[in-house]
Amino acid sequence: MSQVRVQPTADAIRAGARAIRRRNVEIVNAAGLGHIGGDLSAADILATLYLGVLNVDPDQPDDPERDRYIQSKGHASGVLYTTLAAAGFIPDSLLDTYMADGSPLNGHPDRNKVPGVETNTGPLGHGLPVAVGTAIAAKLDASPRRTYVLCGDGELQEGSNWEAIMAAGHRGLDNLVAIIDRNGLQQGARTEATNALDPLDAKFAAFGWAVRTVDGHDIDELLATFRAAPFERGRPSCVIAHTRKGRGVSFIEDRVEWHHKVPSAEQTAQAIEELSE
């Protein structure tokens, strides 16, 4: 790729993540729609990837040698769009059209409408299988490009994911990094009450993956972990990122009802104040 990137500091990424969260709260409030809890839990992960890790260029979004980022938890489109704006793929002003009639910024991301979106996601269990395919393609091309995919933890109850996990381990896709947004909540309940996932690290390891568990809100730890991939040659990498749904907003954090809920004008003002501290 032609662009030479200057690696930002962890402090700069932290500031970027706070700005992404604030903008996210604004657009969800304005639209009256969104998945704000899951957006906020993933903001540090996306900020770290786009501002400090991914080999991507907003001026060449279709460069064949770019890294691929796939957001399997496509319902958290708000944080993807705000991150793409922060990274220069789309103008910030476009965020004001989020969910509006005719806007390219749909509730689920569409690669035909938004630069930087690699594949359409929304139906859970689709993103990881697609990511396995892009990683296989890079191997066939003898390309150094990598694929990163973000999955929700509740999403791992979909069987298609485990077929993909098994295939990736079998093929030794060490150019693939799966990140699990492990906030412990899904729509309507806690994951462990719905269909227990733990021990999640042991499950991935049993399928041939190299696994690391991190604090999904610690930018320094996220940076070091992503930059260390592949964790083992010949094995795909899994990052289990422990997060809090609604991170950074006191009345949203770890509250199951905020999977779909939209903040009022007063709540939005309070959230932005808390996210500015």
Q: Are 218 and 236 in contact (CB under 8 A)?
A: no
pLDDT at 5: 56
| Tokens (6 digits) for 151 | 């999955």
pLDDT at 48: 98
Beta bridge mates, 69 = 148
Indicate if the pLDDT at residue 246 is higher than 80: yes
| 37-67: pLDDT as tens digits | 999 999 999 999 999 999 999 999 999 999 9
Rounded to the nearest integer, the mean pLDDT of the chain is 96
Residue range 206-220: mean pLDDT, rounded? 98
pLDDT at 3: 47
Question: Could you identify the residue written with the tokens 């220069």?
Answer: 88
pLDDT at 2: 42
Query: Which domains, from first to last, does the chain contain?
Result: 10-275 (3.40.50.970)
pLDDT at 70: 98
pLDDT at 6: 62
Q: Which helix (H) or strand (E) holds 210?
A: strand 210-215
pLDDT at 4: 46
* Cα dihedral 174, 111, 115, 99 sign: negative
pTM, full prediction: 0.96
Cβ neighbours for 102, distance < 8 A, ≥ 6 positions apart: none
With pLDDT > 90 as the criterion, what percentage of the chain qualifies? 95
Indicate if the pLDDT at residue 277 is higher than 90: no
Cα gap 91→245, rounded to integer Å: 27
| 162-209: pLDDT as tens digits | 999 999 999 999 999 999 999 999 988 999 999 999 999 999 999 999
Question: Could you identify the residue written with the tokens 């080999």?
Answer: 55
| 74-102: pLDDT as tens digits | 999 999 999 999 999 999 999 999 999 99
